[in-house]
Copies of this chain bind each other. A is one copy, B any other.
């Protein structure tokens, strides 16, 4: 891949400082955001997660500054696509200790991904380590995802378990499953990324439909026995899982259709 369209600290075609703590240690965070008609419909949710991350990693960040970057970049890019916002702990790649200097801000553009009709999951052999201090954050230490992704053939999506065998998430999205006990989504207190779309569905969409949903430990046997199953993220919205390696019972999508319809009613860019 060649250079991506990028804004660095508010400047088009800015360069990456070779001492950036993002490059040296993965000391930073990112948000992958759906750009829709020149707007970012889930901006408040992305900002909220980013602030949880910057607080945990000791990175000072000013909302007005970041928002000005976003507006400037969006004015030069197509109206629809995906914006990746990355914030690092600034420069200083020769010592783990962080002096708290100014952060570096990056914005990247890419076109929308091609929609997919089928989501076929495979359980990855690679297991996520358990680390309550980093769990939930969308930080830049992503070797877990890289190693899991490289196991998969191109026609499979990955399902990730932790080193203790609990189901955590998809490779690039959170998991919801309808069981005999109702809707569940994995608890992310020990591992995984707390996705913006996951939080939005839990706070807005499930309650609006009167559907109960629980964050809880999820076993692989529950995934195999699920009646409906979907992955979600802030770029693709909701995607029903159509098959899982090792499962042969058919998956329904009746309630998933209701959930997708309600999401599309509130945020039309996520219409199927």
- Choose one: B15, B26, B106; the contact of A140 (CB below 8 Å): B26
- A152–B98 Cα gap in the complex (Å)? 11
Q: What B residues does A126 contact at CB under 8 A?
A: 133
| Residues in B neighbouring A86, C-beta threshold 8 A | 23-24
Identify A20's interface contact among B23, B101, B147, CB under 8 A: B23
Task: Find out whether the CB atom of B150 lies under 8 angstroms from the CB atom of A98.
Answer: yes
Contact of A23 among B16, B94, B129, B145 (CB under 8 A): B16
- Is the C-beta of A189 less than 8 angstroms from some C-beta in chain B? no
Give Cα A25 to B131, complex, Å: 18
Range for the number of chain A residues in contact with chain B? 35 or more
Q: A1-B19, A17-B3, A23-B23 are in contact. Are A130 and B133 (CB under 8 A)?
A: no
Chain B CB within 10 Å, residue with most, of A129, A139, A150? A129
Q: Decide: A18 and B1 in contact? CB cutoff 8 A.
A: no
- In the assembled complex, how far is the CB of residue A105 from the closest CB belonging to chain B, in whole angstroms? 12
Chain B residue numbers with a CB within 8 Å of A152 are: 97
Cα–Cα distance between A58 and B20 once the two chains are bound (Å): 23
Q: Which A163-217 residues have C-beta < 8 A from chain B? A: 163, 171-172
Instruction: Please indicate the chain B residues that have their CB under 8 angstroms from the CB of A171 in the complex.
Output: 96
| Main SS class of interface, A | loop
Cβ B163 vs Cβ A130 within 8 A: yes
What are 16 sample pairs from A and B whose C-beta atoms fall under 8 A apart? Answer: A3-B18, A3-B19, A4-B93, A23-B86, A23-B140, A25-B140, A25-B143, A26-B140, A26-B142, A57-B143, A57-B146, A84-B93, A84-B94, A94-B110, A97-B149, A98-B146
Q: Is the CB of B18 within 8 A of A108?
A: yes
| Minimum distance in angstroms from A255 CB to a CB of chain B | 29
Copies of this chain, tallied across the complex: 2
Q: How far is the CA of A95 from the CA of B158 in the complex (A)?
A: 13
- Contact string against B for A residues 1-41, beta-carbon threshold 8 Å, 1 for contact and 0 otherwise: 11110101000000111111111111100100000000000
B-chain residues with CB within 8 Å of residue A1 when the two chains form the complex: 19, 91-94, 101
Question: In the complex, which of the residues A6, A92, A110, A163 has the most CB atoms of chain B within 10 Å of its own CB atom?
Answer: A163
> Given A1-B19, A25-B141, A57-B146, 12 other A-B contacts at CB below 8 A?
A1-B94, A2-B19, A6-B18, A15-B16, A15-B18, A16-B20, A18-B106, A24-B30, A26-B140, A96-B145, A96-B146, A129-B131
Task: From known contacts A3-B19, A25-B145, A26-B26, infer whether A108 and B131 are also in contact, taking CB-CB under 8 Å.
Answer: no
Question: Which 4 residue pairs are nearest across A and B when measured between Cβ atoms?
Answer: A26-B26, A129-B129, A141-B141, A25-B142
